[in-house]
Amino acid sequence: MKFSYFDKLWKGFTKNINIALERKMRATFHLFFDWMIILAKIFGLVLIVVLIRNINFEMRKDAYSIQTFHVPKHLEESGLNGLVLAQKIMDEVAAIKADVGDIKNDSVKFDAALKPEMDLSVMGVGFSTKTILYYAKQLLGKKDRTVSGELTTLAQDMTLTLRFSDANKIEVHNYTDSLTIDKRVNKLLKEAAEKVLRWSDPYILAVYYYHQKRYDEAMDCARAILKERPKEAAWAYLAWGSILVRQQNINGGIEKYEKAVSLDSKLEPALSNLGTSYFHTGQYEKATKILERLLTFAKVETIRSRTIITLAQCYVELKKFDKAEKAFQQVIKEFPKDIYNYAYYGNFKIQFKLDTAGGLDLYRQGREQAPESAEGFLFLAGSLVYENRQDSALKMLYKVLEYDPGNVYALTQIVRNEFGKKNFEKCLDMARKGIVVFSKNDQESQDVKSYLQVMHNFAAVAHYSQQRYDSAVYYARNSIAVDTNVAYPYTSLAESYAFMGQNEKFYLNVRKAVDKGFKYTFETVNEEPYLRFINDTRFQKAAKYKPLKN
């Protein structure tokens, strides 16, 4: 009975075939159908395994799925549909995270629910993997975590609203109708991405603001972590400490780093920053202790590389040269592509091991790997200086500016070199470029202020070297204005007045320079304009300088 229907069909199909052939065909067909049944069972088993795996993954996944947004019809017709808008939000969030790097795992993850899914339609009844996963999660008590959104326009108000399935909504407004639609939407998306991260992971946003030099907003994020996420307080203190150090309050930064480490003794970036800060404040024993412990478990490559280099420098300061050399060798072994490790080790060889040949060989090893980039040409310039190939080094510095026109080190060194070669016009040209670059940078940074002051000062000296004294006075005053507590710009102003024959102003600024800490020596006064004042008692008194006796 089992095969009665098949047998009737088979008899009709094989009535004109002899018995031997019919039996052979029957056996072949039976074998074929047996294999088809086996394959169907295997396919079904694979499908069940895949579904179980996906259900298990969905149950463990803690990410928010971003749904297609609702947008006005006129925007949809212009190509800005809900799918595009949702993807753009994802892109903005991803861009901020990319700027921050992978120093911290996200507290809240976002996943695009905008991908193709398997269609499992059977006998005209449509259902999909998403449908199956949805009902499976409902049966197992797992709620969907989603982000939906809508873009609305009302008069001048363009509003983007994000709705989280288990949190309050986030709204961003833009009232500037002078911008194009695309620019207004992009502005909304950037602000929305920041608000999403402010809610989901304020530490990541704090680091982003830090990179953008938006320190007040970064501090707000750190305070939010302390208030709203006490379990992540160590990250808040890490962010706080970094902001203080950037604002030249290194002792305050150390205090916050210590607090972070007390809350999480294995927080790699906090330990790295603490050890580095100890090093920069001359606390070499403390730095060594912290960095040696960090090195036993550090896994983040950038942190590990910096740890070994700083540890090597600590050993140098403590005159533990054998340990320093082992550390330099270790960092080159672990990170052979980091060209500056060769420079650190080469410099150590030359200065402390008195092994010039060995040091230069390390510089050559680094040169062989230097990429065609600003960083690579900067390394080449430094290594050529060690070989006393000054002209070649200067060419490499100009190559740096081709790749990075605002490179502060290259600009400063070019100005120094051109001035030393008495190429005053080139010196002035590069000094002016440097002034423009540094004026646009963070004026709260002491490094930026120092570079800006140097640029103005070289411009002053180059001008009076060309007998353009009024311009020299102008730039010397600008140099002083950058930081009135620094001594050397007062000497440039004094020298400019001396060349102009305004002796009273010369004496006045010489005294100011000395009061700020400048010391006149035999080498200082053994050139113009000081030679004409060497026996002038008023100069000697103002400069606190006594001529050497024959």
Distance between CA 550 and CA 548 in Å, rounded? 7
Residue 501: exposed, middle, or buried by beta-carbon count in 10 A (0-12, 13-18, 19+)?
exposed
Asked if 275 contacts 248 with a C-beta cutoff of 8 angstroms, the reply is: no
Higher-scoring residue by pLDDT: 221, 186: 221
- The DSSP string of 390-454 is HHHHHHHHHHHHHH-TT-HHHHHHHHHHHHHTT-HHHHHHHHHHHHHHHHHS-TT-HHHHHHHHH
For the cut 60, the answer to whether the pLDDT of residue 130 exceeds it is no
Give the Å distances, CA to CA, from 38 to 33, 104, 303: 9, 49, 55
Confidence of residue 141 (pLDDT cuts 50, 70, 90): low
The β-bridge relationship of strands 109-112 and 157-164 is unpaired
Stretch 193-214: mean pLDDT? 85
pLDDT recorded at residue 85: 79
Interval 278-309: pLDDT, tens: 999 999 999 999 999 999 999 889 899 999 99
Higher-scoring residue by pLDDT: 86, 499: 499
Higher-scoring residue by pLDDT: 218, 28: 218
Stretch 514-543: mean pLDDT? 88
Higher-scoring residue by pLDDT: 102, 429: 429
Find, among 99, 94, 95, the residue nearest to 109 by Cα: 94
Confidence of residue 51 (pLDDT cuts 50, 70, 90): low
pLDDT recorded at residue 116: 42
Residues 6+ apart with CB under 8 A from 394: 381, 414, 417, 418
Stretch 463-471: mean pLDDT? 92
pLDDT recorded at residue 427: 92
Asked if 341 contacts 327 with a C-beta cutoff of 8 angstroms, the reply is: no
Its sign, for the CA torsion 296, 302, 305, 306, is: negative
SS3 content of the chain, % helix, strand, coil (to 5): 70, 5, 25
Higher-scoring residue by pLDDT: 30, 468: 468
pLDDT recorded at residue 523: 84
pLDDT recorded at residue 22: 66
pLDDT recorded at residue 119: 43
Q: Find the distance separating the first CA and the last CA of the chain, reported in whole Å.
A: 133
For the cut 50, the answer to whether the pLDDT of residue 123 exceeds it is no
Find, among 270, 199, 200, the residue nearest to 234 by Cα: 270
Which residue has tokens 């803690």?
Answer: 62
The β-bridge relationship of strands 146-154 and 63-66 is parallel
pLDDT recorded at residue 58: 52
pLDDT recorded at residue 114: 43
Confidence of residue 4 (pLDDT cuts 50, 70, 90): low
For the cut 60, the answer to whether the pLDDT of residue 129 exceeds it is no
Confidence of residue 3 (pLDDT cuts 50, 70, 90): low
For the cut 70, the answer to whether the pLDDT of residue 342 exceeds it is yes
What share of the chain has pLDDT > 70, as a percent? 81
Domain boundaries, the chain: 4-58, 62-119+142-196
Asked if 184 contacts 121 with a C-beta cutoff of 8 angstroms, the reply is: no
Confidence of residue 124 (pLDDT cuts 50, 70, 90): very low
Confidence of residue 457 (pLDDT cuts 50, 70, 90): very high
Interval 229-264: pLDDT, tens: 899 999 999 999 999 998 889 999 999 999 999 999
- Strand 63-66: give its sheet, edge to edge: 109-112, 63-66, 146-154, 157-164, 170-174
What share of the chain has pLDDT > 90, as a percent? 39
Interval 470-511: pLDDT, tens: 999 999 999 999 889 999 999 999 999 999 999 999 999 999
Asked if 174 contacts 77 with a C-beta cutoff of 8 angstroms, the reply is: no
Higher-scoring residue by pLDDT: 77, 475: 475
For the cut 90, the answer to whether the pLDDT of residue 322 exceeds it is yes
For the cut 90, the answer to whether the pLDDT of residue 164 exceeds it is no
80-84, 88-92, 271-275, 319-323 — which is least confidently predicted? Answer: 80-84
pLDDT recorded at residue 472: 93
- What type of residue sits at position 55? I
Stretch 326-339: mean pLDDT? 93
Give the Å distances, CA to CA, from 344 to 21, 185, 260, 351: 87, 48, 30, 11
Q: Which of 72-81, 384-393, 482-491 has the highest mean pLDDT?
A: 482-491
For the cut 90, the answer to whether the pLDDT of residue 64 exceeds it is no
Stretch 349-361: mean pLDDT? 90
